[in-house]
A and B are shown apart, each in its own frame.
Chain A
Amino acid sequence: MALILELAVQGAQMMLVLLLAPLLTGFVRKVKARLQRRQGPSLIQPYRDLLRLMRKEVVLADNASWLFRVIPYLIFAATWVAAALIPTFATGLTFSWTADLIAIVALLGSARFFLALAGMDVGTSFGGIGASREVMIASLAEPAMLLIVFSLALVAGATQLSTVAAVMGSPEVGLRVSLGMSMIALVIVALAENARIPVDNPATHLELTMVHEAMVLEYSGRHLAMIELAAFLKLLLYVSLISCVFIPWGLVTARAGPASYALGVVVYIGKLAACGILLAAFETAIAKMRVFRVPDFLGAALMLALLGTLLLFVSRSL
């Protein structure tokens, strides 16, 4: 019985991230529009977009290979598994030990690997430009991310997210310079990984500065729906990660009652909303960078993360 309940909570977590992801993107768009004095599309517009894409026919390039048609599902699956492994409203779920933070980063790496390949499959210049820029950004963002993971693991003594969240929520952690550095670095990495301003503009098309949209330019219909959903999931994943590590309060421990689970979900949605507003405000306040300024931006994240880690190696209390 207990096992069934635990599996149900695990399943609820998987469905929750899937259902909330488009809403978060819609929310960020709405807040951004309001900050720019526009009305903005409705909150549920991303769901409508997904449904519309699914109903449309697929226009496939003549020389697209089987890989091109399989990749959307692979990207979606890898991102979904990664997103479901991050504690959202509860820690210590049944399968939370399946992968630690390093593996979650690597799962996202797999998704990106295949997305970059998809960009190159049809053999147009757009796909190539997107893929080559994506791997350039990733080659800086991934080491920064792993150094952040090192810092967190050194503070918490674990790379297991449930343990990390539990330690971060405990009073003995307190304010630390290294954690502050890691947080800034993680935010920068999250902006880059999610193709947000100032690294990339998720709302643009046919502009030579674009990265993510250039790779998926040839996708249409149901394939595009899968890729869009994976992108929504990725944003949710990073927001959940930041909130579970740096604002870990309100997380329910495993095997709590249904009431505390419900409370946990409400708190989680509150955190998502807060992070969404901050993201929208940041994106409104800043302009997009030229593509070769991005390495400087990510280099700052890399340096901050490395400094944070070194500080921790020098002294465990900094």
Chain B
Amino acid sequence: MTSIVALLLWGVAAFLGTAIVAVAISRRGSATYLVYGVTLAISAVMFAIAAAGLTGDPAGVSTVTLPLGLPWIGAHFRLDALSAFFLVVVNLGGTVASLYGLGYGHHEPAPHRVLPFFPAFLAGMNLVVLADDAFTFLLSWEFMSLASWALVMAHHREQDNTRAGYIYLVMASFGTLALLLAFGLLAGPDGTYTFDAMRAAEPSRFVAAATLVLMLLGAGSKAGLVPLHVWLPLAHPAAPSHVSALMSGVMTKVAVYGFIRVIFDLLGEPAWWSGVVVLFLGGLTAVLGILYALMEKDLKRLLAYSTIENIGVIFVSLGLALAFKANAMPSAAALALTAALFHVLNHSFFKSLLFFGAGAVLTATGERNMEKLGGLIHRMPLTSFVFLVGCVSISALPPFNGFVSEWLAFQAILQSPDLPQWGLKVMVPAVGGLLALSAALAAACFVKAFGITFLGRPRSTAVGQAQEVDRYSLAAMFILAALCLLAGILPGLVIDGLSPVTLSLIGNRMPVQMAQPWLSIVPIAESRSSYNGLLVFVFIAISASLAAFVIHRFASHALRRGPAWGCGFPDVTPAAQYTAVSFAQPIRRVFGTFAFRAREKVEMPPPGATAPARLTVEIHDVVWETFYQPIAGAVRFATEKLNHLQFLTIRRYLTLVFLYLVTLLLVLALWP
């Protein structure tokens, strides 16, 4: 029989074929429909195959070796539960992004800069997840990075986009270098490049530690772990919105996949302190990411920063899973890993939804700056409704899906007093506090994002004339919103679907959830903790309708429209509303002073003077200034010094060459 992997590889080939065809036809009018239609079909089929692979026999692993790549090893591909789950995430994201692209792609001024790279990007992500040897993995990883770089540069004439593309390229190369070294260490002196051989090898403690650090650098930089996140808020928003959705919602997940594959699968038993490292980085990333997002007034950049936060949440759960796994607590490790994977799925849902929403706003108004938006709920009711669903989900509020994965993470944290090491005992509750802080700040951030963009009064004329977006875009957004609600009220289904993954990586799984009465989820025992999203949803629906019914039956129906209360001052301009910056001001004053060294300066003219008063806010990106500016400065210093070599006379060049040769000969002569 044709194995599932072969089918999936045919799908990848179809993506690549579409990319090549797209190069030829992309200047035609119908190309947009054709390319996105075909990618939609391929992604949907791939999604179905991957989902079947996930729900099938958990031990069923299918492999294919192609005579490509390095001549003596070939290209290995493999599908197991872990890769099947991530293929589901990738191709579900690809399907909705293609659907969205059917409508959104028409607004693209230069479709030939987007169309060929979109299917190539999808192919790259699929290949990374399927790869089963280091060479194929790195090649696919680099292909994915380059395809997405081309998409980031699609609007290359816009300000800042070239800088974003440049920084992305530098960081992506750096990440791949770290991955290359990590795989080099794993392959050992004999150069066993296949994952099977790496899995069988027993790395020494030093190699394991170095691999963890290199994977945190390599996969972490792609996922957006602080302090390697700097490229992400520049590059993700620069791409067209459906690509932004794929990069933020899906590509960061491929990076998470790489991390899980190496650390949980290939590296063998983890050391307990690896949990501490991952927990610390995750907690830091979550809080800093959302604080950055709160300071932001560009809608798409805000979403990109919030991706960093969610990556932090995922890594916190992964760190917990590592800690439990190292201490032979398989049921707790399964719980923590399920929380991480559930959040991976959730984040791909709501982050794609939110980027689609931001794209719809961008199409309708031509504006990403929230300070110029406002009041869109009147002009774009459907978009604003689904965007609200996304905001509620990402803020981890019940009964939507974001809450369930956070809840599972908290339940995993409550398992940690049984851990033997003091480092973990102290670390875990502190990180739990950070997780709670980031959840609360995320709610604040998305109150801001929705409130400033969609509520209030329009702050510019373009916003006042905005039109609702096309039906393809709306369909894509509504599908994702429905998935957010479904995963929130039927979490047991998702948890059971994830059990093959935890079984294969940890050797244990959470108890079967769909067998619970009333579809509750019960991680350990009902007397400990249980949550029923369905009933919470039903209760809220019933009590809200009951309240509305009673009110409309017995209370007064009278309603009068009048002007809003502006302290007796008539006709206040929309500019007097709260803006994104002013909304975040209290939080900036509480957290910003140490996180961003934020300073406010108020210039008050003396009484009687007619000069305007001014308030200037100064915010420092501490990570950029501490880590990156010194490096950039050193590189610039070195290049300026070396630049003199470019302007030497021929005589001096010859002298240099001569001196060099003499030095080499001396070294050779003196070498023992």
Interface residues of A (CB under 8 A from B): 54-63, 65-67, 73-74, 76-78, 80-81, 84, 95, 97-100, 102-103, 106-107, 109-110, 112-113, 116-117, 120-129, 131-133, 135-136, 138-143, 145-147, 150, 153-154, 157-160, 163, 206, 217-218, 221-222, 225-226, 291-292, 295, 302, 306, 309-310, 312-314, 316
Contact = CB atoms under 8 A, between A and B. Distances in A.
Contact of A136 (B411, B426, B444): B444
B487 to A, nearest CB: 16
A102 B410 contact: yes
A110 B396 CA distance: 9
A30 B397 CA distance: 36
B543 A76 contact: yes
B456 A121 contact: yes
Q: Is chain A's interface secondary structure helix, strand, loop, or mixed overall? A: helix
B383 interface: no
A54 B576 CA distance: 32
Contacts of B551: 54, 73, 222, 225-226
A292 B548 CA distance: 38
A73 B551 CA distance: 10
Contact of A123 (B375, B416, B532, B556): B375
B599 interface: no
Contacts of B440: 109, 138-143
B629 interface: no
Interface residues of B, number: 87
B403 A226 contact: no
A221 B587 contact: no
B531 A135 contact: no
Contacts of A116: 447, 451
Nearest to B588: A136
11 contacts: A56-B558, A66-B381, A99-B531, A103-B407, A117-B455, A122-B456, A123-B577, A135-B443, A135-B586, A150-B413, A150-B432
B611 interface: no
Interface stretch (B13-21, B115-123, B301-309, B533-541): B533-541
Contacts of B392: 110, 113
B572 A124 contact: yes
B185 interface: no
B531 A57 contact: no
Contact of B586 (A66, A136, A142): A136
Nearest to A119: B451
B530 interface: yes
A77 B558 contact: no
A221 B392 CA distance: 27
Given A65-B455, A109-B443, A123-B564, A58 B559 contact: yes
B563 interface: yes
Contacts of B652: none
Given A57-B558, A81-B536, A110-B397, A146 B436 contact: yes
Contacts of B388: 67
Contact of B403 (A67, A103, A136): A103
Contacts of A292: 586, 589
A97 B532 contact: yes
Contacts of A306: 429-430, 433
Q: Is chain B's interface secondary structure helix, strand, loop, or mixed overall? A: helix
B544 interface: yes
Contact of B563 (A62, A113, A140, A141): A62
A107 B440 CA distance: 13
A41 B551 CA distance: 26
Contacts of A126: 565, 567
B262 to A, nearest CB: 30
B555 interface: yes
Q: 6 closest Cβ contacts across the A-B interface?
A: A128-B578, A123-B456, A57-B558, A120-B451, A135-B444, A136-B586
B452 A98 contact: no
A67 B380 CA distance: 13
A65 B590 CA distance: 32
Interface of B: 374-375, 377-378, 381, 388, 392, 395-398, 403, 407, 410-411, 413-414, 416-417, 425-426, 428-430, 432-433, 436-437, 439-441, 443-444, 446-448, 450-452, 455-457, 520, 526-532, 535-536, 539-541, 543-544, 547-548, 551, 554-556, 558-567, 572, 574, 576-578, 582-587, 589-591
Contact of A132 (B539, B559, B563, B583): B583
Nearest to B579: A128
A147 B436 contact: yes
A250 B411 CA distance: 29
Contacts of B457: 63, 123
Contacts of A132: 578, 582-587
Nearest to B445: A135
A298 to B, nearest CB: 9
Contacts of A125: 566, 572, 576-578
A134 to B, nearest CB: 9
Contacts of A131: 447, 451, 578, 583
Contacts of A58: 556, 558-560
A133 B377 CA distance: 23
Given A61-B563, A103-B403, A150-B413, A120 B547 contact: no
Contacts of A135: 443-444, 447-448, 586-587
Contacts of B417: 154, 312-313, 316
A126 B566 CA distance: 8
Nearest to A138: B440
A123 B543 CA distance: 29
Nearest to A120: B451
Contacts of A77: 539-541, 543-544, 547
B337 to A, nearest CB: 20
Contacts of B529: 100, 102, 153, 158-160
Contact of A62 (B528, B535, B561): B561
A234 B163 CA distance: 50
Contacts of B540: 74, 77-78, 81
A313 B426 contact: yes
Contacts of A120: 447, 451-452, 455-456, 578
A98 B630 CA distance: 53
Contact of A117 (B410, B447, B527): B447
B403 A139 contact: no
Given A109-B397, A116-B447, A146-B436, A158 B583 contact: no
A102 to B, nearest CB: 6
Contacts of B583: 128, 131-132
B536 A138 contact: no
A157 B528 contact: yes
B564 to A, nearest CB: 4
B577 A124 contact: yes
Contacts of B430: 306, 310
B543 A81 contact: yes
A73 to B, nearest CB: 5
Given A103-B407, A136-B444, A142 B528 contact: no
B450 to A, nearest CB: 6
B526 to A, nearest CB: 6
A139 B591 CA distance: 10
Contact of A124 (B531, B536, B564, B585): B564
B531 A103 contact: yes
Contact of A57 (B403, B437, B559, B582): B559
Nearest to B566: A124
B269 to A, nearest CB: 24
